[in-house]
C-alpha cells in the first residue's frame, strides 16, 4: 500500500504538537496542573482550525479525525513529563520559538485548506490562514489571563500574514510549486519571528497607534 504524505500533512502534525507544547510552557507560568495543561494543549492546538472550519461552514476537522486530539494530548503530556529539562534561563525564549514554529506551520495549512475549497479567492485564504495560526494561541492566552503577543509591538501577526500571502500568490500563479512555497513561507515566518525574538526587531513606531495622556 502506498501512503501519499504531502508537506501539508507533515506541517499539520508538527504544528499540532508544537502548539500543544507551547501551552505547557505558557501554563507553567500559572502553576497549572496536569489536567489544566492537557485542556489548554488541546484548545491551543485545535482552536484556530476550529474557528476556520466554522467560518468555512464545513465539519470541524478534528471531529472527523481524532488523531489531532491524540497528537495534542500526547504532546501536552509529554511536555509535562519532560518539563524539568526545560527549567532553565532560556525557557521563555524557548516558548517563543516553539510558538513561532507552530504559527508558521498552521498559517500554511489554513491557507491551503481555504484555497482548496475555493473560499473567497484570493483574499479569504490569507485571512483564514492567519486565524488558523494565531487563533488557538489567543484563546490560550485569554484563558491564562496573560498578555497576547498580538497586542504587542513584536512581529507576530505580520510574519504570519506575509507567509500566508506568499503561499496564496504561489497557489494563484504557480500551483505546481505549492509544496516548495509552503516550505519557503514557513521559513520566512520563523525567520521574521527570530528577528523579533533574538534581535528585538519590532513593528515600526510610525505604524503604532499610541494613546496620549494629559498631565493635570
Which among 126, 125, 37 is positioned nearest to 74, based on CA atoms? 37
Please compute the mean of the pLDDT values over residues 140-162 and round it to a whole number: 89
Q: How far apart are CA 215 and CA 86, in angstroms?
A: 45
88 falls in which pLDDT band (50, 70, 90)? low
**Is the pTM value of this prediction over 0.75?**
yes
The interaxial angle of helices 124-144 and 34-56, nearest 10 deg, is: 150
Confidence of residue 91 (pLDDT cuts 50, 70, 90): low
- Mean pLDDT, the chain, rounded, equals 87
Asked if residues 139 and 22 have their Cβ atoms less than 8 Å apart, the reply is no
Name which of 92, 88, 155, 164 is nearest 126 in CA terms.
Answer: 164
Residue 151: CB atoms within 10 A of its CB come to 10
Amino acid at each position: 500500500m502506498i501512503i501519499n504524505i504531502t508537506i501539508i500533512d507533515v506541517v499539520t502534525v508538527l504544528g499540532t504538537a508544537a502548539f500543544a507544547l507551547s501551552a505547557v510552557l505558557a501554563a507553567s507560568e500559572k502553576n497549572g496542573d496536569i489536567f489544566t495543561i492537557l485542556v489548554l494543549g488541546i484548545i491551543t492546538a485545535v482552536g484556530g482550525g476550529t474557528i476556520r472550519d466554522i467560518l468555512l461552514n464545513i465539519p470541524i476537522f478534528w471531529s472527523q479525525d481524532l488523531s489531532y486530539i491524540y497528537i495534542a494530548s500526547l504532546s501536552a503530556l509529554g511536555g509535562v513529563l519532560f518539563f524539568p529539562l526545560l527549567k532553565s534561563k532560556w525557557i521563555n525564549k524557548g516558548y517563543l520559538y516553539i510558538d513561532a514554529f507552530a504559527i508558521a506551520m498552521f498559517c500554511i495549512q489554513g491557507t491551503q485548506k481555504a484555497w482548496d475549497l475555493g473560499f473567497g479567492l484570493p483574499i479569504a485564504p490569507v485571512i483564514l490562514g492567519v486565524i488558523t495560526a494565531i487563533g488557538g494561541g489567543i484563546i490560550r492566552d485569554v484563558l491564562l489571563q496573560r498578555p497576547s503577543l498580538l497586542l504587542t509591538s513584536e512581529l507576530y501577526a505580520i510574519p504570519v500574514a506575509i507567509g500566508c500571502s506568499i503561499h496564496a500568490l504561489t497557489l494563484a500563479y504557480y500551483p505546481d510549486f505549492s509544496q516548495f512555497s509552503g516550505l519557503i513561507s514557513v521559513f520566512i515566518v520563523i525567520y521574521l519571528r527570530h528577528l523579533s525574538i533574538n534581535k528585538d526587531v519590532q513593528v515600526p513606531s510610525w505604524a503604532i497607534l499610541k494613546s496620549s495622556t494629559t498631565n493635570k
